[in-house]
Amino acid sequence: MIDFPSALLWFLILAAFGVAGIASALVLRFRARCYVALIGYDPRQDLVPDCLADRVEVIAVRCTSEFVRIPPMAHSASAAYIELDFRSTMLGQHLDPCLALAAGDGSLRMPIERGTRGRRLIPLTALLPQLLSSDGRIALHGRHLAWSSGWVRLHLVREAIAREDAILVVAPHPDDAEIAAYGLYEAFADQAHVLTITTGDATTKPYSTNLGREPLPRADVAQVRVADSLAAPLIAGIPSSRIGNLCYPDGELAALRRAGEQGRPEDRAPERLPGRLRALNPDWIPRQAVKSWTSLVDDLVLVIERLKPDVIVAPCPWIETHPDHVATAQAVCEALLRAKRRDGQLLFYIVHPYFSEAHPLGPAGGPAPVPNMAGRTLPMPDAVFCQSLTPAQMARKYCALEGMRDLRAIAGEARPLAKAWLDLLRRTIRQLILGRSHPDTDLLRRSIRSEEFFLVYSCTRAVALVLGDRVAGESGSRNGIPLDPETSKAAVAA
Ligand SMILES: [Zn+2]
């Protein structure tokens, strides 16, 4: 028989367990919600974009819970993705799931979202050279993860850049060309030009907090970052005669475009761009220009007419969120229209995707999954292009990016003691809640990957999609530049 004190003790113990259980469930639920907010989408959905499925070669291959066998015809592809239907285990709801792949003496680890449920494209490009020695067999091992066995789809990207094609890489800011396309411009260093649009002078924090003093004047930041943008492509073997910076003000391109559309009153003549910095450029960039949208498009027209690029690499206007990035794509398309370029291709890249700045997951040096394009109406590209990077190329890309002073974390940063403790507290809470002590938006982590991914559009089609009814003889009553593909259908058909 249980006496009253024992019963009370048991009641208290059970109540404590109950409270602890409810508290744990609430913490786990909160942690899962924070994680979804971090990645920017519900992981319980398919992430295989239609645009890829329709624009690449797709074949069926056999997959088990232990391996997938890739046929020899895949070896000649520029990139390959295996489509697997994943389901995370119970632990994988709260701990980071991962798929490990190994072929020959090569291996890679692909992080998958916590709580994942749906189809994903797993990049195999880094393992393609290993397939000859492994008889096409890629071993699979999942952590907190399972997938459907049987016949699965292998996506092979065959799009290539010809050796005689002239390439122009356009970057809104110093660092964007390297983040998005270092591997591409190094692979085609003999035929590539790199052009940055702005001075990058809006980023003053790294130049002031490290000294604990007043912020560096924007003019000084501009000088430093323009120098960075002109130096980084040298690491890839591009001569200084093919590297330029138009020196427009950082963070103001969208405002310049709006002012340009409204028409510029004569008494609001824009100031000259810093001629001292423009003078650092090679001959294909005019020395003098003013701070206006018209001047920017004029500059780009001149560059396009002089270089006659077959391939222009620029930010994707439909997936990028940074106003300067969207405005850069618009300026390039306006210049193509003015220059009457009907041939050639635009390769659109993505640095700041609309869904999250945490993409892609996992540490630097890993593979890069296809960006999540679910939930966004995207004009169907003509093709996709992947530039693969070897470990040596990734190391040089790291050097080029780390040389950008805005991305570099300098040790010994002078901070008040209170701020240091606050940072420590913030990191500890992040570690407890998310399992991560640092923000996942670090571009050195996100951008150094074994693939660089591009959406390919013909110049004519891209201009029609981005500029809409302005293409049809400049006679439309609307001055806006539609970025909704639905509103641009008529222009595309025309
Ligand atoms: Zn940028």
Instruction: Write out pLDDT tens, residues 173-209.
Output: 999 999 999 999 999 999 999 999 999 988 766 665 5
Q: How many whole angstroms from 197 Cα to the centroid of ligand 1? A: 10
178 in the same domain as 132: no
Sign of the C-alpha dihedral, residues 382, 324, 231, 398?
negative
378 in the same domain as 244: yes
Quick one: which of 338, 285, 348, 290 has its CA closest to 316?
A: 348
* Domain contains 6: no
Q: How many whole angstroms from 325 Cα to the centroid of ligand 1? A: 6
More confident residue, 293 or 40: 293
Q: How many whole angstroms from 452 Cα to the centroid of ligand 1? A: 16
Q: How many whole angstroms from 378 Cα to the centroid of ligand 1? A: 21
176 in the same domain as 132: no
402 in the same domain as 310: yes
152 in the same domain as 172: no
Q: How many whole angstroms from 150 Cα to the centroid of ligand 1? A: 43
**C-alpha 438, offset from chain centre:** 19
User: What separation in angstroms does the CA of 459 have from each of 341, 348, 437?
Assistant: 7, 11, 43
Q: How many whole angstroms from 115 Cα to the centroid of ligand 1? A: 31
List the domain range (segments joined by +) for residue 143.
Answer: 50-157
Q: How many whole angstroms from 253 Cα to the centroid of ligand 1? A: 12
pLDDT band at 475 (very low <50, low <70, confident <90, very high): very low
330 in the same domain as 197: yes
414 in the same domain as 267: yes
384: tokens are 């996709």
**Whether the Cβ atoms of residue 110 and residue 86 lie closer than 8 Å to each other:** no
174 in the same domain as 125: no
pLDDT of residue 310: 96
- Angle formed at CA 332 by CA 331 and CA 335, multiple of 5 degrees: 85
* Domain contains 15: no
Read off the CATH number of the domain in which 260 is found: 3.40.50.10320
473: tokens are 């003889």
Structurally, the chain folds into a number of domains equal to: 2
Q: How many whole angstroms from 175 Cα to the centroid of ligand 1? A: 7
User: What separation in angstroms does the CA of 361 have from each of 40, 96, 217, 454, 487?
Assistant: 12, 10, 35, 18, 34
Q: For residues 348 and 350, what is the distance between their CA atoms, to the nearest angstrom?
A: 7
* Domain contains 16: no
**C-alpha 471, offset from chain centre:** 29
Is the pLDDT at 397 greater than 90? The verdict is yes
* Domain contains 45: no
Is the pLDDT at 51 greater than 60? The verdict is yes
Read off the CATH number of the domain in which 146 is found: 2.60.120
Q: How many whole angstroms from 173 Cα to the centroid of ligand 1? A: 5
Q: How many whole angstroms from 200 Cα to the centroid of ligand 1? A: 8
* Domain contains 41: no
389 in the same domain as 250: yes
For the chain, give the percent of residues with pLDDT over 70. Answer: 85
Exposed (0-12), middle (13-18) or buried (19+): which is 376, by Cβ within 10 Å? middle
Q: How many whole angstroms from 301 Cα to the centroid of ligand 1? A: 21
Distant-in-sequence, close-in-space partners of 364: CB < 8 Å, separation ≥ 6: 394, 398, 444, 445, 446, 447, 448, 449
Instruction: Write out pLDDT tens, residues 201-256.
Output: 887 666 655 555 667 788 888 998 999 999 999 999 999 999 999 999 999 999 99
pLDDT of residue 412: 53
Q: How many whole angstroms from 25 Cα to the centroid of ligand 1? A: 40
Q: For residues 332 and 260, what is the distance between their CA atoms, to the nearest angstrom?
A: 15
Domain boundary among 122, 157, 192: 157
**C-alpha 486, offset from chain centre:** 24
Q: For residues 379 and 461, what is the distance between their CA atoms, to the nearest angstrom?
A: 10
Domain boundary among 133, 157, 181: 157
Is the pLDDT at 451 greater than 60? The verdict is yes
Q: How many whole angstroms from 250 Cα to the centroid of ligand 1? A: 9
485 in the same domain as 422: yes
467 in the same domain as 402: yes
E runs forming strands in 49-166? 57-63, 67-69, 79-88, 98-103, 106-111, 117-123, 137-143, 145-147, 150-157
Q: For residues 367 and 386, what is the distance between their CA atoms, to the nearest angstrom?
A: 12
Is the pLDDT at 390 greater than 80? The verdict is yes
476 in the same domain as 392: yes
Give the end-to-end CA distance of the chain in Å, rounded to a whole number: 90
User: What separation in angstroms does the CA of 234 have from each of 194, 351, 391?
Assistant: 10, 22, 19
Q: How many whole angstroms from 322 Cα to the centroid of ligand 1? A: 7
Q: How many whole angstroms from 350 Cα to the centroid of ligand 1? A: 10
